[in-house]
A = this chain, B = another copy of it.
Amino acid sequence: MDRKHIEGKLRDGGYKLTPQRRAILEVLLEHRGRFVDAGEIYEKTRARHYGTNFSTVYRNLDILENLGIIHKTSIESGTAVYELIFHRPHHHHIICKKCGRTEIIDMCPLEQLIKAVEDKDFTLTGHKFELYGYCRDCSKNQ
Contacts and interface: CB of A to CB of B under 8 A. Distances in A.
B138 A132 contact: no
Given A74-B74, A110-B127, A133 B93 contact: no
A110 B136 CA distance: 28
Contacts of A55: none
Copies in the complex: 2
Interface size class of A (residues with CB under 8 A): 35 or more
Interface string A69-100: 00001111011100000000000111111110
Given A74-B74, A139-B123, A131 B80 contact: no
Interface stretch (A4-12, A19-27, A46-54, A101-109): A101-109
A125 interface: yes
Contact of A128 (B124, B130, B139): B130
Q: Which of A76, A123, A132 has the most CB of B within 10 A?
A: A132
A57 to B, nearest CB: 16
A94 B109 CA distance: 14
Given A127-B132, A130-B127, A136-B121, A110 B115 contact: yes
A134 B98 contact: yes
A97 B132 CA distance: 6
A133 B124 contact: yes
Interface-central residue, A80, A93, A129, by most chain B CB under 10 Å: A129
Contacts of A115: 110
